[in-house]
Structure formats: C-alpha cells, structure tokens
Chains A and B, each alone.
Chain A
Amino acid sequence: MADSDYDFEEDASDDEYIGSKAASGRSSRASGAVGLGKRKTQEKEKGKATLAWERRGSEASIEYDLELDGDLDLGEESIRQSVQEKEEERKRKRLRKDTKPFQRGIIRHVVLVLDLSEAMLEKDMRPNRYITMIKYTQEYVREFFEQNPISQMSVLGMHDGLCIRVSELSGNPADHIAAIQGLRFPRNPKDIPKEPKGSPSLQNALELARATLYHTPSHGTREVIIVFGSLLSLDPGDIHQTIKACVRDRIRVSIIGMSARLRICQEIVSRTNAGDESEYVVATDQELLRELLLATTTPPVVRKDRSAASAESTAALMMMGFPSRVVQDVPTLCACHGVLTSGGYTCPRCAAKVCSLPVTCPSCQLTLLLSTHLARSYHHLFPLRNWAEVSWRRAREKGSVECVGCLAVFPKPPPEDPEAGARGGGGGDDEMAVDGPVGGGGKKQAPEDEEESEEQRASESSRYECRVCESHFCIDCDMFCHMVLHNCPGCLSHEPGAG
C-alpha cells in the first residue's frame, strides 16, 4: 500500500491541469475526505468565477486530484494520507532558504520596479495581472519592512516607454503602500487612476533606479527588483551600456517575470549578480508571484568575490541614535510632519521630536531607531536551520508521540517493514521530478552543505526533526517556527546538559 503513494502522487500531478478543468462540472464525491467540500460547493454555482479560484494554486488542485484518484479505486485512508503529504510539501517549499549563516546585507536599499504596461492587462491572473500585482506589492512592502526595518525602498513604474517614480527612497512602509494604492485610487480626485498602457522600458527603469541608488551609502546593498509582465522592452539606447553601468555601481537586479523567460532579463540578472541567474524567476500564477515576491524579503547574501574587489564597500561603523520616548501633556510640533502631537521620540543629538521610528532625523540626519529594530534582524544573522524530514525508522527509534511545540499527536508508525526503509529515498526523487514547470522558481544556488541542499520535502511520518535538539515537530510548527518565530522551542526548553 505504502508503495503506491508516491507513484500515484506523481500521476496526479501530471494530470493536474486537465483534471481541474474537467472536474468543474463533476460532483465532488471525495471532497469530504479533506474537508474542503463546503467551500467548493459554495464556489461551484458561481460558474465562470470558479476559474479564478481554481487558479489560486494547489488548494484547488488537491481536491480535483482526489476525484481522479477516486476512479483509481484507492483506499480512502491512503488518499487522505497522500493529500496531506502533498499539502505539507507545498508548505515546506515556501520555507525560506536562508538557514545558512551567510553574511547578509542587512541594510538594504531596494528599488521596486512595477510594470504598468499593457501586458499587465492579461487575465492569466485574476482579475488581471495589474490588480494582482498592486495587491501583492502592498503586502510585500509591509513584509519587507517587517523583515528589514533599517532598510530603504523606492517604487518605480514602467509604462509608455517611460519610467516614473511612484514613491521616493524612504524607510517608511506607509508612504510606499499609499503610493502604490494611489496608482489605482489616486488620493487627489482630479488625477485619473493609472491603467496599464504602452510598453515598458527596462533601460529607462534601470537608469532611474541607478540614479535613485546613486547616493546610498556603500555599506548597504543596492538592489533593483523588477516585476516584469511584458515580453518586450522598448529602450531608447543601448541597454548593454546601462547594464555595464549597473554592474559598476554594484547594483544587483532581480527580475520576476510572467508567462515566459526573456533572454535580456536573463542577461541583466546574470551580469549584475556575478553570473548567478537564480534571481531571474518567472511567476506562472498568482500564488507563485506572491511567493517569489516574498522570497526577496530575505536579505541577500553578501558575495565574497565582491567584497574582495571593493573592500571598503562591505562594512562600516554606523552612528545611530537610540531616542527615548517622551510623554507630553501639551502637544508640540513634530519635526517630521510639522503637526502638533503629544508625545513622540526625541533625537539624542539635536532634540528634534519625531513621531515614529525608525526614521532619519529630519534636522540632523542621524538614523534614529530602537534597539528592538536591530534585534529584529538578528534572525537573519543567526538563522534557525531547516528541520529534517523524519523517516518511519527514525520516528520509531525516537519514539516520538506528539509535536514538541503544540502537543499535536503524530500518526503512529506502521508496523516494522523491511522494505519501507529502501523505498523512502526513491519516492523522494520522483517528487523532485514533478516540480518541473516552476522553472527554477525558488531554487537558489546549490549550497555546499549536503544536508541543507536538499529540497524541502514532506516527511513520510509527518514529523520534522530539529538537527540540534532532535525534537520532533509537526508541519504547522515547522512553518511557524521558521517563518515567524525563528526559535526552536525544543532547543530552548532544554538547557544543554539538563535531563
């Protein structure tokens, strides 16, 4: 029985797309097994709109896989199991691959370039690419500053062969979100909402990005992240010269394409990233777009070759102010907005009052922040290593019954079976083959460490093991600990040497 799991999963994935189309009209006989049934029947009457929902990624396809599989007449238990495995695998793929203690560029200067050309009117994302992009980039900006509190960002837009500035380089997420929102819903009622039109120009975008990043201090990174929906770039001059200039200014460009790969994008990325093309990825659906965007919130690894080339650019001792909070009975003017506020933070150098942190002091240009802002970046510097999948054999050996983090009960190991051990590895390889169409999405350069270079896969025993404390966790805790908490509850609740 166990043997069929993987094979069957592979088949299912191959047929996935056809399956989901064909299944729209079918009755959902197996849906009860996953508990998605209710939602589906709700959605079903909505006719065409179902399509949009179908595209929302694996959630939809899982259910339809089920129906296909029902025809194959497999036991309900194994269906449930493989659905669960697939779900876990999907989740684990999202784990950021930043678990190696690389030196990272914590202080980032990022120019986010949005494609506002007519290609963004395509409806392969719902309702269309443009609206999807606007929606996800707002999330993205928030997440970016959550992860990189002492970084700066600027947003540009490309349309009609031009590159326009959407928001200035600043460290305030609210500014950027308002500006991105303002593309569709201008704050000034006289402005017309921007609709995608014309063609984008990569050259103009790179030039404007270069101008924006020109004055940023050299100890920070200079990054350009382009969301690029079209399949052409309308440039006024020789883009290769611009690429050269970007390389010289040590700007690294990441491009998130849509629908297909472009030679010129590949070249831009590879030239500006020292030959590494993994920063050029193509989003084939909106879930992937969101994931690819979020992947760039992790600070980039500082490359060794580069630091050798320009040693002075890597590290610096930065003067920063740690202001104290003042509580005032009488409102006074703040230096940042010029409005009356009671309370705020005073700059320790010039005593100007600012409303929120982190901020650059408007009067003396000192960077003001809280020590907690620095602490927020520590998890990039001391990352929590990815947890390993646990084979049944290992689970039996450790005798783990429940998740250390949340006390959820694990499935019992199946009775001892000599074949079981041999099968585990083979099954894994099959899965590797399945995730082909992603097109290198999220696959970073192969790290040296063999252990960590493996794709993050689902574990057959639903357990994930911390390599340090050997505690076993469930998939939910795995996700939570790596994406939100950045602590291992197991390691932290037993001091080394304690019983």
Chain B
Amino acid sequence: MNAIDGTVRQVKTDDTPPPSLLAIVLDTNPHAWAHLSSTLPLSSAIANLLVFINAHLASGNANEVAVIASHSRRAQWLYPTPKGPISHHPSSNGDANGDIEMNGVSHPNGSTTTTTPAKENANKYRPFSTVENAILSNLSNLLSSTTESDLASTPTTLIGGALSLALTHIAKSTLLHSPVDPLASDNPLSALADSESVARTQRIPLTSRILIISVSGDLANQYIPVMNSIFAAQRKRIPIDILKLAGDTVLLQQASDATGGVYMKPERPEGLLQYLMMAFLPDAVARRSLVMPSAGGVDFRAACFCHRKVVDIGYVCSVCLSIFCEPNLPGNLCLTCGSYLSLRAAQTATPALVARKKKKRKRVAGTDSATPSGTPAATTPMHP
C-alpha cells in the first residue's frame, strides 16, 4: 500500500552537535534577595550566572542564550535587549571595567552594580562581553526603575510572564532554525505525527531548555499561567530546570517533573556556581548519559478550593473543575461557578463487557421502546 507514494525522501544527517538554546528565567524578586543577602548577594549571584552563561556559550559554536528577569511587578528581557518603545534609560554611571567582582558589592537593590562600559575590553571574547554588558545594563535599569510602591504592593514575582516570554522566544527560534518545513514545525502535532509520509528532514533542530533560578516562595496567584506554560513546554519537549535557592513551591517541582527537567534545592546557596556548572550545564543530549539529580517524590495531591486543604479524594465540579474537600456544598451550588450540582461518581460503573457480546444491539434496541422498526441486525452483512 505504501508503494503508491513513490517519493523517496532522504534524511540528511549532520554531524555537528545540535545548537542549544538556553533560556534563563532569573527571579529578581527584591524581597527574596534581601533575605538571601547575607549568604548570597544578588551581585555575586549575577557574577556566577555570567560565568555559567559563558560556559554555555563556549560549549558550542551555535549555542544561544536568552535571559529574562521575573521581577516583582513585571517580567523583562535582560538578553537579548528589546528595542521597544518601553525604552530604558541610557546608563550614565559607566564603570571602566566590564567585569564585576565575584564577591561584589552586596547591595540587594544592586544600585551600585556596574553598568555598560564605555569601551570594550580587548582581552575578552567578544560574544561573552556582549551578553554580559547587555545583562548588566538591563538589570541595573530594571532595578533602578523599581519604586518603593512596587515593592510594597506585592511580595511575589511574575514567573508566569517570564516563562511565557521564554517559551515564545524558544518557539520562534525553533521555527527559525528549521526553515525547510514550516508547515510541520508550526504545528504542535508535528512532533507526534506518524512519520509514514511526513518528511523527516533536513537540519538538526534547535534543542532548547529553560532554567529557572527561583528565590520566591508562594506562587499560587500564578497557578493557571504557570500551568499553561508547563503544558506548553511539555508539548514542545522543552525541559524546565529549577534551581531553588530559597522558598519552596510545589508548582515549580511539578514543572520540572512534568517536563523532565532537573529540580534542585541546594543546601548552601553560596555555592551557586558549582551547582550551575555541575547540574545545569549539560544539555539534553549529554544528560542521557549522566545521572542527573532528581527530585524524588513529587507531591501531586490537590488543594481544595474551599479551605486550601490538601486532599487525596476530592469532589470536582464538572463545569468549572473546582476541587472541594467535601460533597456537602451549601445548597448544592458550586462555590466557584454557581452551577447546581448533583453528586455522583465521575464514572458510573460501565458494563463495558456486556456490550461486547454479539447481541449488544438487541439489548439497546430493547431499552428503546420508541424504535419500532429498527432492530438493525448488525451481524448480518448487507451487500448491495
């Protein structure tokens, strides 16, 4: 039957290692970094991160990096630099040296960190300094534009927005790297497609991953956006790695578990660089031959919507999927959507095995008294 499709499609193989795109979401929540300032000040964390980014860029010619800050009230690009109308103030206090000290100034607001140097350091590999300068100047702009009212209004961070930005960026880069078959690559299904006649083609695609360096605790207000991001990453086969320097959230644990990423919560945050280099530098290909740190048991139980109590048997509204811990709702109305609910098991015990018998049709027709003529004899072949 296959012979009808006479095309011979060749799969070109390329021996170069696939380019790897690393999207880093840096949680810059000022509250959390203030807590950490005694062990790991933001500035030295940034210095460590830059070393890690350089290592990533150095480990492959075509490797790319994207850095997004998940700040208290906005998520913003650190690298590449957006040119958009959301203009950033040109940096004024230039430091002569583009490098910053590993144990730099420990100011949580980072107001004294270095910014874009006026001239380039001739001894530095050019791509390194480009990335470094962009990140440093964008970050200092971000921090200096944070007002006190911003800080006062929320203790959390916009991780959902930052994740979404990372995913759209990765999706676009992936598209750009596989220009030959746009029809397949823009469709979420292509990865699942049966390869029978779909041309498996062309270039080695971009492998991407996301690393979230998280310091914030409660992310409950971001539940739906983060969940949506997790599913998108899962479908696009993008692992989400989590480096949890402080706080604890089940949400991010689930993110790494669902996408096959690494979850790590180091005991001593000051060893940041060590953790980054050892656990997060290997890309998806290398990880296959390494024993990666795993999160162990992941808490999958659900929290009820009424008391935030963790339950293992819950009652779910069939309309809005809210979870309740007990079936006795006031007036049998769903607390979330207000639908009238009748209690029953999600699945009635289906007598599926009965339906398998040859006489199933008669049984159905029997229950249906209003079908006088139609007892279709299913087992009799009907030829024209």
State the Cβ distance, A195 to closest chain B Cβ, in Å.
8
Closest to A249 in B: B368
The size bracket of the interface on A is 35 or more
Q: Does B102 contact A (CB under 8 A)?
A: no
Q: Does A74 contact B (CB under 8 A)?
A: no
Query: Which one of B314, B318, B340, B371 has the greatest number of beta carbons of chain A within 10 Å?
Result: B318
Query: Which one of A52, A217, A405, A493 has the greatest number of beta carbons of chain B within 10 Å?
Result: A493
Partner pick for A160 among B225, B332, B360, B381, CB 8 A cutoff: B381
Are A479 and B74 closer than 8 Å at their CB atoms?
no
Q: Does A190 contact B (CB under 8 A)?
A: no
Are A242 and B312 closer than 8 Å at their CB atoms?
no
Residues 65 to 115 of chain B near chain A (Cβ within 8 Å): 73-77, 80, 82-85
Residues 280 to 332 of chain A near chain B (Cβ within 8 Å): 294, 311-312, 314-325, 327
State the Cβ distance, A169 to closest chain B Cβ, in Å.
6
Are B327 and A317 closer than 8 Å at their CB atoms?
yes
Are A489 and B315 closer than 8 Å at their CB atoms?
no
Query: Which one of A39, A316, A382, A398 has the greatest number of beta carbons of chain B within 10 Å?
Result: A316
* Chain A residue contacts of B378, Cβ below 8 A: 162-163, 204, 207-208
Are A160 and B382 closer than 8 Å at their CB atoms?
yes
Are A484 and B188 closer than 8 Å at their CB atoms?
yes
**How distant is the Cα of A431 from the Cα of B267 in the complex, in angstroms?**
61
Are B301 and A324 closer than 8 Å at their CB atoms?
yes
Q: Does A360 contact B (CB under 8 A)?
A: yes
State the Cβ distance, A395 to closest chain B Cβ, in Å.
11
Partner pick for B344 among A219, A375, A382, CB 8 A cutoff: A219
**6 A-B residue contacts at CB 8 Å?**
A212-B355, A245-B368, A320-B316, A360-B347, A375-B223, A404-B84
Q: Does A38 contact B (CB under 8 A)?
A: yes
Are A317 and B316 closer than 8 Å at their CB atoms?
yes
Q: Does A271 contact B (CB under 8 A)?
A: no
Q: Does A23 contact B (CB under 8 A)?
A: no
Q: Mark A143-164, 1 if CB is under 8 A from B, else 0.
A: 1001000100000000011110
Query: Which one of B8, B189, B236, B327 has the greatest number of beta carbons of chain A within 10 Å?
Result: B189
Are B297 and A400 closer than 8 Å at their CB atoms?
no
**How distant is the Cα of A382 from the Cα of B347 in the complex, in angstroms?**
25
Which candidate, A3-11, A127-135, A417-425, is the interface stretch facing chain B?
A: A127-135
Q: Does B171 contact A (CB under 8 A)?
A: yes
* Chain A residue contacts of B186, Cβ below 8 A: 91, 476, 479-480
* Chain A residue contacts of B6, Cβ below 8 A: 46, 48-49
Q: Does A244 contact B (CB under 8 A)?
A: yes
Are A476 and B235 closer than 8 Å at their CB atoms?
no
* Chain A residue contacts of B62, Cβ below 8 A: none
Q: Mark A74-93, 1 if CB is under 8 A from B, else 0.
A: 00000000000000000100
Q: Mark A196-209, 1 if CB is under 8 A from B, else 0.
A: 00110101100110
Contacts A160-B383, A201-B382, A211-B355; A493 near B317 (Cβ below 8 A) = no
Closest to A132 in B: B197
Are A487 and B164 closer than 8 Å at their CB atoms?
yes
Are B384 and A199 closer than 8 Å at their CB atoms?
yes
Are B374 and A365 closer than 8 Å at their CB atoms?
no
Contacts A135-B194, A492-B161; A53 near B74 (Cβ below 8 A) = no
Closest to A237 in B: B374
Are B192 and A143 closer than 8 Å at their CB atoms?
yes
Residues 338 to 382 of chain B near chain A (Cβ within 8 Å): 339-352, 355-356, 360-361, 363-365, 367-368, 370-382
Closest to A377 in B: B321
